[in-house]
Amino acid sequence: MSNQHKHPTISFRVSNAERKQIEARILASGMMKKDYFVRFCIYNRICVVGKKETIYPLVQTVNALYLQLLEMHKAFVGYCQDQNPDNLPTSNEIAELQTSYNNMLSAIIDLLDGAKYLWEGDAHNKQ
């Protein structure tokens, strides 16, 4: 059991120059590396390039969430018609879907906000 991790690991490769820049920022922040990466990934502005490869995965994820919501809607409608509680989603399933929706909507809002930031910057530069 000592070989099991509690949480999954995220890793990526960077160039030597990128690593030095990252380490300088971590040092300046005064945070532990782990905390810096988590906060940076979650709270920093994201700039989006509107191309098919970027947008298509978002559309697929939103569609999957929509299909889950549609299934739950059918279960609730079926319950109202048949009064059969066996078809209802569990509170855990509802909570998981709510978490998925919250995470995806937050990510989409952040992406759109980053795109707005880029667009406003382009508009400002053209003036």
The 10s digit of each residue's pLDDT in 61-71 is 778 888 888 88
For the chain, what is the mean pLDDT? 75
Query: For the segment 47-106, what is each residue's pLDDT rounded down to a tens digit?
Result: 666 667 767 777 787 788 888 888 877 877 777 777 766 667 788 888 888 888 887 777
Query: What does 67-93 look like in DSSP terms, one character per residue?
Result: HHHHHHHHHHHHHHHH--GGGSPPHHH
Are residues 97 and 59 located together in one domain of the fold? yes
| Domain stop point among 44, 59, 76 | 44
> Which residue in the block uniquely carries the two structure tokens 């810096």?
36
Q: What b/e readout covers 71-91, taking b as 16+ CB neighbours within 10 angstroms?
A: eeeebeeeeeeeeeeeeebee
Question: Which pLDDT belongs to residue 15?
Answer: 92
Cβ proximity of 90 and 79 under 8 Å = no
> Length of the chain in residues, anyone?
127
| Residue 108 pLDDT class (50, 70, 90 cuts) | confident
Query: Is 52 found in the same domain as 28?
Result: no
Tokens for 40, please give them.
């940076």
Q: Which domain holds residue 51?
A: 47-126
Domains in the chain, number: 2
Same domain assignment for residues 52 and 38:
no
pTM of the entire predicted model? 0.46
The answer on 51 and 40 residing in a single domain is no
The residue to which tokens 């059991």 are assigned: 1
Same domain for 54 and 113? yes
User: What's the confidence (pLDDT) of residue 87?
Assistant: 65
Whether residue 1 is found in the same domain as residue 28: yes
Residue 112 to residue 106: CA distance in whole angstroms:
10
* pLDDT score of 26: 84
